[in-house]
Amino acid sequence: MALELRVINTIEAVDADAWDACAAGHPFVQHAFLKALETSGALGADRGVLPRHILLMDATHGLVACAPAMLKWGTLREYGPEVHWLRAGLDAGFFKWPKFQVGVPFFPVTGRKLLVRRGFAETPLRAALIKGLLQLGQRAEQQSVLNILHIDNATARLCQGQGALVAGERHSMWTNTGFNDWADYVAQLHKRKRYQLHKERRQAEAHGLAFRVLKSFELTDEILTDYYEGHRRVCERYGGTPWLPAPIYEAIARLMPLDALLMGYFDGARFVAGNLQLCAAAEQTLYILQASEMTKLDSMQLDLICYRPIEYALEHGIGKLDSGLVAKHKQHRGWQSAPVYHAHWFFNDELKALAQQHLN
């Protein structure tokens, strides 16, 4: 198959249906989500991230494979092992911005990154995407590395076969291993964890708030404004600031009306605490995003992050939950730790040797 490699600087330069035929229902690489990042101001030169999406076209100019890619520079807000070799490379003078990477900007979510249109052979086209990415990376003199972030084991093995140095980290996951419902799940917990669950649920419900699950199209401007403010307060509580601008959540709600939902506690119509989630129906997976809490309340976030998503998943036939980076409070409440991988190709031998010390 004769293939043409193209690079686009905005997701709007490619037909949404053609791109989504490759995305296979994964919400974070859908055309609408990438468009939400662009139109909300989350991406841009002032944000240190510029889209450089990769397209593979066949002889009829149809899209057969693609990858969400970007040029990134000026920030060490990285996930997992990347931050260590980045910092060392900058200090030693072996690494200079920008960094060429494939993944979802600002979201450390596991899933498809080398996307192939349904009905086409995946392995050769994913290999062709890697080859094209490497050619682009090597062609640009200022780029010293190519990363593909947050991939599964099969993709990591494919990348390793193409000369990548593979490293990993662990994320918090929950998988339904045969539970019929919430009561069935709670009954099988160790008595200590079962006691802890009941205690923390009582504490969360003692605040007298109503728990609700809202779809994207039910989210008003007022709720989204309060959600962002609550997220800002959570970040501030731990000495940080939000990574994303406020309009991103309105853009997700508007562009993805059936893919996003908000689990939260409300005082009447007023939002108090919750988290936004994206659903991958084809994968039966729910992805849990940033926590938000207008006022710190006992056990509220533990209930919203650790328990409510599992209960919702069991009620709606969702088999898997992904809450991103691993954390002890999740592991202590029934969540598992699962490996996630990153692939690296270094175009600078000195940087490669330095990175190997950290990645190994």
Q: pLDDT, tens digit, for every residue of 125-137?
A: 999 999 999 999 8
What topology does CATH give the domain 4-169+339-359? Aminopeptidase (3.40.630)
Mean pLDDT of the chain: 92
- Let me know: does 317 contact 284? Beta carbons within 8 Å: yes
Backbone φ and ψ for 229, nearest 5 degrees, come out as: -65, -40
Query: Using alpha carbons only, how large is the chain's radius of gyration in Å?
Result: 21
Question: What pTM did the predictor assign?
Answer: 0.94
Share of the chain above pLDDT 90, in %: 78
Domain boundaries, the chain: 4-169+339-359, 177-318
CA–CA separation, 219 vs 198, rounded Å? 30
DSSP lists the bridge partners of residue 271 as 266
Pairing of strands 285-293, 320-325: parallel
pLDDT digits (tens, 9 = 90+) for 38-62: 999 999 988 999 999 999 999 888 9
pLDDT tops 80 at residue 75: no
Average pLDDT over residues 72-77: 80
Residue from 270, 176, 262 nearest 217 by CA? 262
| Domains 4-169+339-359 and 177-318 equal at CATH topology level | yes
pLDDT at 60: 87
- Let me know: does 56 contact 132? Beta carbons within 8 Å: yes
What topology does CATH give the domain 177-318? Aminopeptidase (3.40.630)
Which of 15-19, 107-111, 257-261 has the highest mean predicted lDDT (pLDDT)?
Answer: 15-19
Label residue 360 by pLDDT band (50, 70, 90).
low
Residue from 50, 95, 80, 98 nearest 156 by CA? 80
pLDDT at 358: 87
> 68-72, 80-84, 106-110: lowest mean pLDDT where?
80-84
Per DSSP, the residues of 318-344 read --EEEEEE--HHHHTTT-EEEEEEEEE
pLDDT at 138: 83
Average pLDDT over residues 143-171: 93
pLDDT digits (tens, 9 = 90+) for 216-246: 999 999 999 999 999 999 999 989 899 899 9
pLDDT at 200: 96
pLDDT tops 90 at residue 32: yes
